[in-house]
A and B are shown apart, each in its own frame.
Chain A
Amino acid sequence: MATTVASPGSTTRPPTPRQPAERSRRDPATGRGVVGTLLLYAMLLILSVLILAPLLWMLSTSFKTTGDATVLPPQWIPPTPTVEGYTRLFADAQAPLLRWLGNSVLVGVLHTVLVLATASAAAYPLARMKFAGRRLIFALIIATLFVPGFVFLMPNYLIVDGLGWLDTMWALVIPGAASAFGVFFLVQFFQSIPAELEEAALIDGANRWQIFVRVVLPLSRAPLATLGLLSFLGSWNDFLWPLYVLFNPEQLTLPAGLATLRGAYATDFPAVMAGAAIASVPVLILFAFVQRYVIAGVARSGLKG
């Protein structure tokens, strides 16, 4: 993986010609000595081990027998590898793990699509049109960015109950879909699009909707992808809300479902780690592919905030 994820800032940089006067032990690209480089890598490796070891232990335990999972000294390679932890978990009707996985994917995708559609449509007029109430609407949206989410917990529970959405995926898809952050984030970007592009389209006879769909959205792929990834991750990992609005084991999302494993499998460590592994491997693989965009998105949204 290390070789494929070249950072544009560092590795693809053309090699600087070596200055003859410079001391040969210094790397001209970084200005760091050999000892410094070794020290840097040593620190990075130690930190990486600290970060990754728990995840490897999770994976390793999921392939152990119950006895091997608690044996001392700790065994990193399962002495008698087995998938019993997984089969025990899959055999339990009270823990329909694949169903939870499917629920999480469906909820995450629907939520993300809704966030992107509503936030981009709302951000467009706020960024590019003049109309009565524009300032007020934008101010209201920004103001809610400062209100902590738990304030909405009780009232939203009652609203969702009133709509008959308790124990359905709509309770997870819709209420959080009005992303004030998303609108704020996209307004910033839309404002940077040159006005000439829009004016040209207007004169060509396009209406606002056509300009939005054919000019603005295609130019906004990067911020839309960022917002989409952050929305999906947020939905995928949401814990408190699904814990309280879903009851039926069939309806649970992965995070809420995993919380029920804790009690039911108190001492069956391989089964619990199998559940954790199933929940984390897909998202880690996805992250490996899109990590550049996720990280860039976090960095960008962080600075804009």
Chain B
Amino acid sequence: MTATTTAAPATGPVAGARAAATLSPSRPRPWTPYLFLAPFLLIFGTFVLVPAVSGLWMSLHNWDFFLPDRPFVGLQNYVDLFTPDALVAQQFWESMRATGLFVVLSVPLLMAIPLGLALLLNQRFRGRTFFRAVFFAPYVLGVSVIGLLWQYLLNGNTGLINGYLAQLGVTEAVPWLTATPWVWISLVGVTVWWTMGFNSVVYLAGLQNVDDALYDAAKVDGANRWQQFVHVTIPQLRPVILFVLTMTVLASANMFGQSYLLTAGNPSNETRTAIMFIAEVGLEQFRMGLAAAMSYLLALLLIAVSALNFLFLRQKES
């Protein structure tokens, strides 16, 4: 508030600007906004806008990092991805299947468990903030720490999990990181443990915005707890649910670190996700045109899924 008064005794070089400003305070110099925007737009243009277009251009070329010339091949990279007997097509769709499976397995859990947690944390009790912090804490550690830690915990021979299972009388070691279906249980379980606090906090913010009067009205109408949940909480939370759903689908579809660190894509590439395969083709084999084509296919699919989410949940609302 005091800033307005401290700005007043501006001296020297500002004197001219002062006269101009007093004459037409609502119309500053025309280039001022562009000067403010320039640093952002420089970086944004170079690393967001140009890449978005040049990636498309790359995907239309046989862009191999090590080739002297990168001939234009039109849609060949895309056609290759849809040619059933091409090896790269098989591998690509296998990785897409892995990503899809991970999304299907993890998203329902990452929607439901954090909602339950948020309902629990939305009660009034001492130490609420403390518990909120505890549930959020794993998320700040990042996937590299999570990967190292759980690789050790889930180790077939020496891991803590199998150690306790052995004590419970499970004589055969569970191959958590080396065989299906255990690899998927591990990847999904670790991801839920790692990220559920994040979704809970978003839900919690939504719950705190629900008007208490609505619950009071429902109680007057004789609604029990479950009916209040179904008829007040869920409808009031719909925009938040839509947001959490969209974010979680995108995050799960972007899964890379967990597979890279925990299973290295094994067994026999079954847990090699789409992002992992794109990075392999593009940044290890340097077949970047092909990798760019894969990126665009996956991106289109994800944008379609997000659009469907919106349509579906909006429709329900009206």
Contacts and interface: CB of A to CB of B under 8 A. Distances in A.
A294 B129 CA distance: 12
**Interface bin, chain B:** 35 or more
Contacts of A210: 7, 10, 14
B10 A206 contact: yes
A57 to B, nearest CB: 6
B204 interface: yes
B140 A41 contact: no
A214 B3 contact: yes
Contacts of B142: 236-237, 239, 255, 279, 283
A157 B129 contact: no
Contacts of A6: 129
Nearest to A245: B283
A258 B149 contact: no
B36 A121 contact: yes
Interface string A283-305: 11001100110110011101101
A58 interface: yes
Most buried by A among B46, B137, B164: B137
Most buried by A among B34, B148, B243, B278: B148
B36 A125 contact: yes
Q: Is the interface of B mostly helix, strand, loop or mixed?
A: helix
Interface in B52-108: 52, 54-55, 58
B6 A214 contact: yes
Contact of A295 (B30, B40, B201, B209): B201
Given A44-B120, A203-B25, A291-B133, A57 B39 contact: no
A147 B120 CA distance: 34
Nearest to B157: A70
A90 interface: no
Nearest to A128: B33
Interface in B144-169: 144-145, 147-153, 157-158, 160, 163-164, 166-167
Contact of A298 (B126, B131, B198, B296): B198
A158 interface: yes
Given A122-B40, A151-B296, A180-B44, A72 B166 contact: yes
Contact of B133 (A121, A199, A203, A295): A295
Interface in A5-63: 5-7, 9-11, 29-30, 32, 37, 40-41, 43-44, 47-48, 50-52, 54-55, 57-58, 61
B298 interface: yes
A125 B136 contact: no
Q: Is the interface of A mostly helix, strand, loop or mixed?
A: helix
Contacts of A303: 202, 205-206, 209, 240, 243
B54 A237 contact: no
Interface string A133-166: 0100100110010111111111111110000000
Most buried by A among B22, B36, B141, B209: B36
B175 interface: no
Interface in B210-268: 240, 243-244, 247, 250, 253-254, 256-257, 260-261
B308 interface: no
B205 A159 contact: no
Contacts of B247: 302, 305
A124 interface: yes
Contacts of A258: 144-145, 147-148
A157 B125 contact: no
Contacts of B44: 141, 144, 178, 180
Contacts of A201: 3-4, 7-8
B279 A240 contact: yes
Contacts of A55: 137-138, 149
Contact of B46 (A134, A159, A203): A159
Interface residues of A, number: 120
Given A157-B283, A210-B7, A298 B128 contact: no
Interface in A155-213: 155-159, 174-178, 180, 183, 197, 199-208, 210-212
B299 to A, nearest CB: 5
B7 A152 contact: no
Nearest to A114: B43
B304 to A, nearest CB: 11
A261 interface: yes
Contacts of A117: 39
B125 A244 contact: no
B177 to A, nearest CB: 12
A122 B295 contact: no
A215 B4 contact: yes
B295 A10 contact: no
Contacts of A219: 3
Contact of A150 (B125, B130, B209, B254): B254
30 contacts: A29-B124, A32-B123, A47-B117, A51-B134, A70-B157, A72-B167, A74-B164, A131-B34, A137-B41, A148-B253, A149-B254, A150-B275, A151-B299, A153-B279, A155-B292, A175-B47, A176-B47, A178-B40, A197-B1, A197-B3, A204-B5, A204-B8, A205-B7, A208-B28, A210-B7, A261-B148, A262-B261, A283-B142, A287-B140, A302-B202
**Complex A-B, nearest 3 residue pairs according to Cβ-Cβ distance, in ascending order:** A205-B18, A237-B142, A299-B205
Given A197-B1, A237-B140, A239-B143, 18 more contacts: A30-B123, A51-B138, A57-B153, A134-B33, A140-B49, A144-B49, A153-B291, A154-B288, A154-B292, A159-B47, A178-B48, A201-B8, A202-B26, A208-B28, A236-B142, A237-B144, A273-B148, A283-B140
